Amino acid sequence: MNPSLTRRDFGKQLLAGLGGAALGPALSGAAGTTSTGAMPRQPNIVLILSDQHSYRYAGFMGHPLVRTPAMDRVARSGVVFRSTYCGNPVCAPSRAGMVSGVYPSDCNSFCNATAWDGSLPAWPALLRDAGYRTFGTGKMDTSDEFDNGFAEAPNLANSHWKKPDITAFFRRPLCVRPGERDVVEGRARNERHSDQEKAVKTIEFIRRQQPGGAPWAAYCGLHMPHPKFLGLQEYYDYYLPRIDLPNVPPAHLEEQHLMFRQLRHFKDIATPIPEDRIRRARAAYLAMIQEVDDYVGRIWKALEETGQLENTIFVYTSDHGESLGEHGLWLKNNLYDVAARVPMVVAGPGIPSGRVVDTPVAHVDLIRTFLEAGGAKLHDRLRGHSLLPLMHGRAGNHPGWAYSESHSEGNCTGSFMIRKGPWKYIHFTWYDDLLFNLEDDPGEFINRAADPAAQPVLEELKAILRSQVDPLEVTQRAFATQRKRMDRMAAELDENAMLDQFRGRLGEGQAVALLTAYYGRTFAYKHKQAKATDD
pLDDT digits (tens, 9 = 90+) for 22-49: 333 232 222 333 333 578 889 999 999 9
DSSP state of 193: P
Q: What are the angstrom distances between the C-alpha of 299 and each of 98, 203, 229? A: 22, 6, 24
Amino acid at 261: R
Q: How confident is the model at residue 82 (pLDDT cuts 50, 70, 90)?
A: very high
pLDDT at 18: 42
Classify domain 7-397 at the CATH superfamily level: Alkaline Phosphatase, subunit A (3.40.720.10)
pLDDT at 39: 80
pLDDT at 521: 60
Domain spans of the chain? Answer: 7-397, 493-535
Share of the chain above pLDDT 90, in %: 82
pLDDT tens for residues 274-301? 999 999 999 999 999 999 999 999 999 9
| Complete DSSP assignment for 220-287 | EE--TTSSSEEEEHHHHHHHGGG-------TTHHHHS-HHHHHHHHHTT-SSPPPHHHHHHHHHHHHH
Over residues 248-266, the mean pLDDT reads: 95
Helices 275-305/69-77 angle, 10° precision:
50
CA trace torsion 460, 463, 467, 468 (10° rounding): 80
pLDDT at 36: 38
Q: Above 60 in pLDDT, residue 534?
A: no
Q: What is the pTM of this model?
A: 0.91
In total, the chain counts a number of residues equal to: 535
pLDDT at 522: 60
Q: Above 90 in pLDDT, residue 395?
A: no
Q: 504: how many CB neighbours lie within 10 A of its CB? A: 11
Q: How confident is the model at residue 523 (pLDDT cuts 50, 70, 90)?
A: low
Q: Above 90 in pLDDT, residue 231?
A: yes
Q: How many whole angstroms separate alpha carbon 193 and alpha carbon 190?
A: 9
Contact status, residue 8 vs residue 24, Cβ threshold 8 Å: no
Q: How confident is the model at residue 8 (pLDDT cuts 50, 70, 90)?
A: very low
Amino acid at 495: E
Nearest to 55, CA basis, from 292, 323, 244: 323
Q: How confident is the model at residue 530 (pLDDT cuts 50, 70, 90)?
A: low
pLDDT at 2: 43
Which residues fall within 8 angstroms of residue 452, CB to CB, at 6 or more apart? Answer: none
Mind spelling out the 3-state secondary structure of 462-492?
HHHHHHHCCHHHHHHHHHHHHHHHHHHHHHH
Contact status, residue 68 vs residue 293, Cβ threshold 8 Å: yes
Supply φ then ψ for residue 442, to 5 degrees.
Answer: -65, -20
pLDDT tens for residues 416-439? 999 999 999 999 999 999 999 999
pLDDT at 212: 83
Supply φ then ψ for residue 345, to 5 degrees.
Answer: -125, 140
pLDDT tens for residues 311-326? 999 999 999 999 999 9
DSSP state of 51: S
Contact status, residue 379 vs residue 100, Cβ threshold 8 Å: no
Q: How confident is the model at residue 336 (pLDDT cuts 50, 70, 90)?
A: very high
Mean pLDDT, all residues of the chain: 91
pLDDT at 379: 92
Share of the chain above pLDDT 70, in %: 90
Over residues 355-380, the mean pLDDT reads: 97
Q: What are the angstrom distances between the C-alpha of 3 and each of 9, 35, 86, 336, 507? A: 11, 36, 20, 12, 36
pLDDT tens for residues 100-155? 999 999 999 999 999 999 999 999 999 999 999 999 999 999 999 999 999 999 99
pLDDT at 161: 87
pLDDT tens for residues 172-193? 889 999 999 999 999 999 999 9
Span of 101-115, 160-174, 364-378, 448-462 with lowest mean pLDDT:
160-174
Over residues 251-266, the mean pLDDT reads: 96
